[in-house]
């Protein structure tokens, strides 16, 4: 019998108690949250535990939730246990005024560029990152383009014909 979502949730709850929350299973993938101060402890536990063995970082990205005061920015980790072929989603939230999260580069080499990209587009500061600088945008850019702080399009424009875009 392989590793199950119930086993993962049980082991996380046993180790971290009520600090891990919001357990959910969407399309068979377990998701949960933890405070940002625990991100490295949780990641290390998922990596080191002999039963869990989540040793592959599939993806790391950011999400902007402008309506969640004090939790506007999220870092989302997608981890994969290659032995049992099971994945999970782990989220940590931070406020937009102090968007500091500990870097995971010491545990996953792949986190290096993913954290740089997340910094570049969302402005999340990965504390302890060895080379945290913009990776795709120009250094002079003074905003973070994937934050939902700007309208999708300028409604006052008169130089476009909506019929050309199927909206007329």
Q: Kindly report, residue by residue over 74-122, the tens digit of the pLDDT.
A: 999 999 999 999 999 999 999 999 999 999 999 999 999 999 999 999 9
Strand, coil or helix: 134? coil
Grade residue 167 by pLDDT with cuts at 50, 70 and 90: low
43/57 Cα distance (integer angstroms): 10
pLDDT band at 156 (very low <50, low <70, confident <90, very high): confident
Give the range of the structural domain holding residue 95, as residue numbers without chain letter: 19-145
Confidence of residue 2 (pLDDT cuts 50, 70, 90): confident
Phi-psi region of 79 (alpha: psi -120 to 50; beta: other; left: phi over 0): beta
Residue of 108, 7, 107, 120 lying closest to 58 (CA atoms) = 108
60 inside domain = yes
- Rounded to an integer, the average pLDDT of 112-133 is 97
CATH number at 124 reads 3.30.460.80
Domain membership flag for residue 100:
yes
* β-sheet bridge partners, residue 24: 31
Q: Is residue 115 part of a domain?
A: yes
**Two tokens, residue 55:** 């040793």
Taking the C-alpha atoms of residue 89 and residue 70, their distance in angstroms, rounded to an integer, is 21
- Domain-embedded: residue 4: no
Asked, for residue 127, whether it belongs to a domain, the answer is yes
What does residue 128 show for φ and ψ, rounded to 5 degrees?
Answer: 90, 0
| Residue 117 maps to a domain | yes
Indicate the average pLDDT of the chain. Answer: 93
Whether 92 contacts 99, CB under 8 Å: no
- Does residue 38 lie within any of the structural domains? yes
pTM above 0.85, yes or no: yes
Considering the domain boundaries, does residue 72 fall inside one? yes
Q: How many domains does the chain have?
A: 1
């Amino acid at each position: 019998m392989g590793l199950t979502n119930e086993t993962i949730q049980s082991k996380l709850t046993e180790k971290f108690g009520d600090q891990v929350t919001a357990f959910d299973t969407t399309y068979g993938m377990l998701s949960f949250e933890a405070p940002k101060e625990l991100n490295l402890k949780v990641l290390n536990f998922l990596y080191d535990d002999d039963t869990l063995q989540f040793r592959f970082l599939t993806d790391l990205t950011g999400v902007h939730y402008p309506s969640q005061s004090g939790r506007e920015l999220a870092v989302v980790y997608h981890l994969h246990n290659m032995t049992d072929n099971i994945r999970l989603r782990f989220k940590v939230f931070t406020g937009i005024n102090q968007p500091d999260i500990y870097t995971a580069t010491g545990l996953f080499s792949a986190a290096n560029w993913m954290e740089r990209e997340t910094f570049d587009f969302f402005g999340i500061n990965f504390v302890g990152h060895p080379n945290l600088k913009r990776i795709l945008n120009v250094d002079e850019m003074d905003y973070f383009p994937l934050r939902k702080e700007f309208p999708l399009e300028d409604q006052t424009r008169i130089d476009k014909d909506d019929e050309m875009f199927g909206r007329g």
